[in-house]
Amino acid sequence: MENVNEPLMFYVGKNFFDKSKKVFNLGFVVKKPLLQILQSLGFRPADMSSDEAKRSLEEFSKTSGMTITQSQYLKEISLSLLTPAWLVKSFKGTMVNFVGAYDLGFSMIVEFLTGITRILKPPISSYLWIVIPKSQDGVAKTLDILKNIRDRVKEPPITSEEWEAVKPVIEKLSNSGFNIRGLKENLWSSI
């Protein structure tokens, strides 16, 4: 993957999440899995609320000297996804809820939980990790962290079956006008 200073989105399936709970000793109930994984790797990211993340993204898009396209990505992230959970509208049984935003200094990672409800079956859930690098160096450092997490878990972050299952989420985000690298492709295969 090129080290381009643009936001990237990664899907994380249930199989990977379940295995990562064991590998990183996350415990049974995990409210912010990525935060706990980062902390177990020795990072101390700032844990931000959705309002703090919105402000940070808006400020960063104005002061970073980003291209208009990159700035637009950040605006879309903050407007489309960082809404309080009670404002997120369900569309054909899909939902996207903010879990947390974690500022590592060189980049921010925003974590969302997605869910697809099914009649008489358990819901299908997955996580979205959106990486917002603050510099070219931030891209490389963050991708190294993601590779390290993937390599330690020794499980594909999202299986082909889980990828098929998240298609309603992809469709919902695409229809809302949200556009980011990784929305419609599995970026794990390119890092």
Q: Say if 54 falls within a structural domain.
A: yes
Q: Say if 3 falls within a structural domain.
A: no
pLDDT computed for residue 92 by the predictor: 55
d(CA 12, CA 157): 5
pLDDT computed for residue 172 by the predictor: 80
**CA-wise closest residue to 166 among 96, 82, 73, 109:** 96
Q: Say if 39 falls within a structural domain.
A: yes
pLDDT computed for residue 69 by the predictor: 54
pLDDT computed for residue 25 by the predictor: 93
Residue 64 CA neighbour count, 13 Å, CB half: 24
Q: Say if 1 falls within a structural domain.
A: no
How many domains, the chain?
1
pLDDT computed for residue 89 by the predictor: 45
Beta-sheet strand order (sheet of 8-12): 8-12, 121-133, 107-118, 94-103, 46-48
142 is written with which tokens? Answer: 């963050």
Domain containing residue 139? 8-190
Q: Say if 140 falls within a structural domain.
A: yes
Contacts made by residues 80-83, CB under 8 angstroms, sequence distance 24+ = 80/173, 80/176, 80/177, 80/178, 81/110, 81/112, 81/130, 81/178, 82/50, 82/53, 82/54, 82/57, 82/110, 83/50
163 is written with which tokens? Answer: 């990828």
Q: What is the mean pLDDT of each run of 10 residues along the chain (191 residues)?
A: 75 94 90 95 94 79 58 57 48 74 93 81 85 89 97 95 88 78 93 90
pLDDT computed for residue 171 by the predictor: 84
Q: Say if 124 falls within a structural domain.
A: yes
pLDDT computed for residue 87 by the predictor: 38
d(CA 53, CA 183): 20
